[in-house]
C-alpha cells in the first residue's frame, strides 16, 4: 500500500460558526454543508470536516479535543501579503516569518491560532539556496 495524499481531516470545535468565520474570512477557505447537516471547509483538493465537541460523528478520535491540532497550510502569494491581511483582520501572529522544513523542502512560515487554540502555520516554499 502507498498513501497518495490527504483527502480530509477532522477538527473538533467548540463553536462551528466562529470556526467557519475564521477559516473562511481569515484563511479564504469555503464552507460547504454535506450529509445530514454536517459542515466542511474546502481548500484545494482537501477539506476539513467539523465535529462539535460532545456531538462527534461516529467513529471519531479516541479523545476528540478542541485546540489539539497543529496544522500547516501552504499559501499563495507572499508572506508579506498574508501578514498585511492578518494585521487588517486583527489576527495576532505568534511567530514568524521563520524558516521551517515542509514535506517538499524549505518553507518560510508564520504561526497563529484559530478560535479553538489550534496552532496554524501559514507557509510558502522557500527558493533553493
| CATH of residue 31 | 3.10.180.10
How many other CB atoms are found less than 10 A from the CB of residue 47? 20
pTM of the model: 0.94
> What percentage of residues in the chain have a pLDDT greater than 90?
94
Residues whose CB is less than 8 angstroms from the CB of residue 42 and which lie 6 or more positions away in sequence, other chains included? 29, 30, 31, 32
Strands 30-34 and 38-43: antiparallel
The count of domains in the chain is 1
| pLDDT at position 98 over 80 | yes
Residue 54: domain span: 8-125
Q: Look up cell 539556496; give the residue.
A: 129
* 100 in a structural domain: yes
Query: Can you say how many angstroms the Cα of residue 54 is from the centroid of all Cα atoms in its chain?
Result: 21
Res 2: pLDDT: 93
Question: Which pLDDT tens digit goes with each residue over 27-82?
Answer: 999 999 999 889 999 999 999 999 999 999 999 999 999 999 999 999 999 999 99
* 40 in a structural domain: yes
Res 129: pLDDT: 61
Which residue among 55, 76, 89, 121 is the active-site one?
A: 121
Note if 89 is an active site residue.
no
Res 127: pLDDT: 72
Amino acid at each position: 500500500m502507498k498513501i497518495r495524499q490527504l483527502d480530509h481531516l477532522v477538527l473538533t470545535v467548540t463553536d462551528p460558526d466562529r470556526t467557519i468565520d475564521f477559516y473562511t474570512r481569515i484563511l479564504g477557505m469555503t464552507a460547504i454543508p454535506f450529509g445530514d447537516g454536517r459542515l466542511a471547509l474546502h481548500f484545494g483538493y482537501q477539506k476539513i470536516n467539523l465535529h462539535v465537541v460532545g456531538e462527534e460523528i461516529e467513529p471519531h478520535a479516541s479523545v476528540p479535543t478542541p485546540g489539539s491540532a497543529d496544522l500547516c497550510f501552504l499559501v499563495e502569494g507572499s508572506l508579506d501579503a498574508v501578514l498585511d491581511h492578518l494585521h487588517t483582520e486583527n489576527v495576532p501572529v505568534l511567530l514568524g516569518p521563520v524558516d521551517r522544513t515542509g514535506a517538499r523542502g524549505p518553507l518560510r512560515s508564520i504561526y497563529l491560532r484559530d478560535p479553538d487554540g489550534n496552532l496554524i502555520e501559514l507557509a510558502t516554499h522557500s527558493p533553493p539556496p
